[in-house]
Structure 1
Amino acid sequence: MGNRALGFTVDQENTIWEMWRRGDSLSATGRVLGESVPQIGRFLRKSGGIRPLPRRRRASHLTAGEREEISRGIAAGDSARTIADKLGRSPSTIAREIARNGGREHYRATPADAAAYVRARRPQISTLSTRHFLRE
């Protein structure tokens, strides 16, 4: 996905982390990426200089394929209970999924999956970025 707020793509982020791990200077990283040193510094400070773990979804959460099935079920005029039976899920899970993503008229699988990914983020600041004595 990349960090859109700081304007880096996933490949650029991977380059930053690799060069940071090797001990390359921020200036060298900036030259490689064609980005400013302060922007790279802000990116690294955001996580306290430690690469965050890759995000994973829980196995119990709805998958993109299940959301696609929900979308197809809505298009076919199926009820939430019928869709839930096909997916082996609780009807309330399906009804909540449809409701939180625009209702039956506006539900689309891909935007619903992207929205779920964003909603799952916890607005948590790195401990190292907030506690200078630990960082030192």
Structure 2
Amino acid sequence: MRHGRRHGLSAEQKGEIWRRWKAGESLHEIGRAFDKDHGSIQFLLSKHGGIVPAIRRRSHRTLTSAEREDTSQP
């Protein structure tokens, strides 16, 4: 177990982990590829039940920050 290292994963790395998981690689293989313990990989995957989370998108009805600034002006 690696103590004292708390380096998170970037969005690219998480995407690669999900790709490898869907391709059938084991947790140990994925962990070795990212120099992480297989428990860290399992934690990431189990948070979503082993299913790739949907990409978050802002609703088309939501105002942009520029539009919000425009409406707050008197």
Which category describes the TM-score, using the shorter chain as reference length?
0.7 to 0.9
CA offset digits 1:42-67 (Å, max 9, x no partner) = 00000000001100110111224435
The DSSP-based 3-state class of the residue aligned with 1:13 is helix
Structure with larger Rg = 1
Paired with 1:29 and 1:65, the residues of 2 have a C-alpha distance of: 42
> Aligned partners of 1:21, 1:37: CA distance in 2, in Å?
16
| Runs of 5+ unmatched residues, structure 1 | 1-5, 71-82, 85-93, 96-136
Q: TM-score, with normalisation over the residues of structure 2? A: 0.79
Q: State the percentage of identical aligned residues.
A: 36
Structure 1 segments, 4+ long, off by >4 Å, are none
Between the two proteins, the alignment pairs up a number of residues equal to 67
Structure (1/2) with the larger helix percentage: 1
| Residue equivalent to 1:8 | 9
The answer for the alignment partner of 1:27 in structure 2 is: 28
Deviates more, 1:43-52 or 1:58-67: 58-67
Segments of structure 2 that go 5 or more residues without pairing to the other structure are: 1-6
Q: Which amino acid aligns with 1:26?
A: L
Whole-Å separation in 2 of the counterparts to 1:47 and 1:12: 16
For 2:53, what is the secondary structure of its paired residue?
coil
The answer to whether structure 1 residue 53 and structure 2 residue 54 are counterparts is yes
Deviation at 1:33, TM superposition (A): 0.8
